[in-house]
Amino acid sequence: MDKITECLLALSSVLGETQNDIALHEPTFQGNEWTYVKDCLDSGWVSSVGEYINQFEDKLAQYTGASYAVATVNGTAALHIALHLAGVLPDQEILVPSLTFIATTNAIIYTRAIPHFIDSDFSNLGIDLKKLKSYLQDKTIIRNNTCINKESQRIIKAIIPVHIFGHTVDMDALQQLAQEFCLTIIEDSAESLGSFYKDKHTGNFGVIGILSFNGNKIISTGGGGAILTNNEKLARLAKHLTTTAKIPHAYEFIHDQVGYNYRMPNINAALGCAQLEQLPIFVERKRHLAQVYQQAFSHIEHASILTEPTFCKSNYWLNALILKHPDRSFVENFIEAASQHHYKLRGLWRPIHMLSMYQDYPRMDLSNTCELFDRVISLPSSAQLGQTGMTKSVATAAQKEFAGR
Ligand SMILES: *Cc1c(COP(=O)(O)O)cnc(C)c1O
């Protein structure tokens, strides 16, 4: 049997035969979404002030264990403000994996800082910390508690770990490295709501972390994001900056700096409150789906399903098939062939340093990243696909129902 047929069979043993497209990731709205959104419409509280926003922030803080959560219009906006609050200044360099969603890097540009691309690890798709450590030892010098890039003579201010597909970076090792090289940690936890490093939720390891609630994330508010922090002053500033830096006043408009209109609307937060109630179930279903995928692909020689690192309890936001050897044509042909069977797979993001606008920024050797691009395929991973005891025909019926949206 050829490799593509083999993988297609494994895929259909999980997803069943279907005439309707099975998307990479769809939201599940089976809780109080209608009730809470209707409440916003009935009361007129749909915009940037309302009870659901406060409630959503409180519940997020509670779930993640962060002292403060500030809800924003999307995850990119949260990143922008997070970088700003971490003290990132123009012309400082920020270490960022080339293997991430574009938002992480764009936010660096919004602050007029400079992305400095770093390589990724085969085991969890996060930063390759060993490789980074020897690179920094070689290329930087510490002066007055500041890390200087010997070649560009610019300050390397911060590092942004990204917990790709919900699998966490080794945060103990990262914190050690950050301390050694005087780097501020800003955590991109956009994909890892529901993921824990050891016993601590992601987003709690740096000075500031962010979440995303875009339509394809584990919970969705339509569009949305949040800033997480354990620092009261930063939390207050985050709220201030995301609400146009307006001084509270009954009728006057006074703003004390250039702020941003980044506040999450109440109607989106209403969705978020309903979604958060279901988050533990979503995580359970997604972890179950991951097991089913692992089982289905276990006999395949040339590829395997990416599993969580030992130090991590992952939300398995997206399941990924990883090939033993890089094979671009397999990646493309398998995605095509699966699409014929209505399974909508995706490749990895094209590494950011390969995009035209990011070609001229500093970087280390990125060979792992380039290899991973030709080795990883993400598989349909919606929470409803992982309902325990769900037979293929039920899964197909559920998909039909969703295809009608
Ligand atoms: C989704 C995502 C973001 C933020 O995206 P928004 O669509 O702006 O909410 C940031 N970083 C990563 C890695 C993401 O996957």
pLDDT tens readout for residues 262-310: 999 999 999 999 999 999 999 999 999 999 999 999 999 999 999 999 9
pLDDT band, very low/low/confident/very high, at 403 (cuts 50, 70, 90) = very low
Condensed to tens digits (0 to 9), the pLDDT of residues 87-146 reads 999 999 999 999 999 999 999 999 999 999 999 999 999 999 999 999 999 999 999 999
Beta-sheet pairing, 140-143 with 93-97: unpaired
Q: What pLDDT is stored for residue 389 in this prediction?
A: 60
Residue among 87, 45, 53 at smallest CA distance from 213: 53
Residue 400: pLDDT above 60? no
Condensed to tens digits (0 to 9), the pLDDT of residues 199-218 reads 999 999 999 999 999 999 99
Between the CA of 210 and the centroid of ligand 1 the distance, in Å, is 9
Residue among 326, 262, 284 at smallest CA distance from 82: 262
The preferred substitution site among 25, 105, 163, 188 for testing ligand 1, maximizing ligand atoms within 8 Å of CB, is 188
Q: What pLDDT is stored for residue 390 in this prediction?
A: 53
- Does 97 contact ligand 1 (Cβ within 6 A)? no
Condensed to tens digits (0 to 9), the pLDDT of residues 365-391 reads 999 999 999 999 999 999 999 986 654
Residue 399: pLDDT above 90? no
pLDDT band, very low/low/confident/very high, at 48 (cuts 50, 70, 90) = confident
**SS3 for 400?**
helix
- Does 72 contact ligand 1 (Cβ within 6 A)? no
The preferred substitution site among 72, 94, 96, 104 for testing ligand 1, maximizing ligand atoms within 8 Å of CB, is 104
Instruction: Tell me which residue has tokens 């400079």.
Output: 114
The total of other beta-carbon atoms located within 10 Å of residue 373's CB is 21
Residue 2: pLDDT above 80? yes
In angstroms, the CA 114 to CA 100 distance is 16
Residue 64: pLDDT above 50? yes
**DSSP single-letter state for residue 142:** E
In angstroms, the CA 275 to CA 27 distance is 9
The pTM (predicted TM-score) of the whole model is 0.95
Residue among 146, 127, 147 at smallest CA distance from 137: 147
Mean pLDDT computed over every residue of the chain: 95
Beta strands in 218-297 (DSSP E): 225-229
Using a CB cutoff of 8 Å and minimum separation of 24, what contacts does 352-361 make? 352/96, 352/98, 352/99, 352/100, 352/102, 352/105, 352/115, 352/117, 353/98, 353/117, 354/98, 355/102, 358/105, 358/115, 358/117, 361/114, 361/115, 361/116, 361/117
CA 225 to ligand 1: nearest atom: 9
- Does 121 contact ligand 1 (Cβ within 6 A)? no
Beta-sheet pairing, 208-212 with 312-313: unpaired
Between the CA of 251 and the centroid of ligand 1 the distance, in Å, is 36
Q: By alpha-carbon position, which residue is closest to atom 5 of ligand 1?
A: 75
Between the CA of 298 and the centroid of ligand 1 the distance, in Å, is 31
Q: Are 373 and 120 in contact (CB under 8 A)?
A: no
Between the CA of 74 and the centroid of ligand 1 the distance, in Å, is 8
Q: What pLDDT is stored for residue 338 in this prediction?
A: 97
Tokens matching residue 228: 């997480």
Residue among 26, 2, 13 at smallest CA distance from 341: 13
Q: By alpha-carbon position, which residue is closest to atom 13 of ligand 1?
A: 101
User: In this structure, which amino acid lies at residue 20?
Assistant: N
Q: Are 71 and 60 in contact (CB under 8 A)?
A: yes
In angstroms, the CA 353 to CA 118 distance is 10
Q: If you count them, how many residues does the chain have?
A: 405
27 φ, ψ (degrees, to nearest 5): -75, 155
- Does 209 contact ligand 1 (Cβ within 6 A)? no
Between the CA of 153 and the centroid of ligand 1 the distance, in Å, is 31
CA 214 to ligand 1: nearest atom: 9
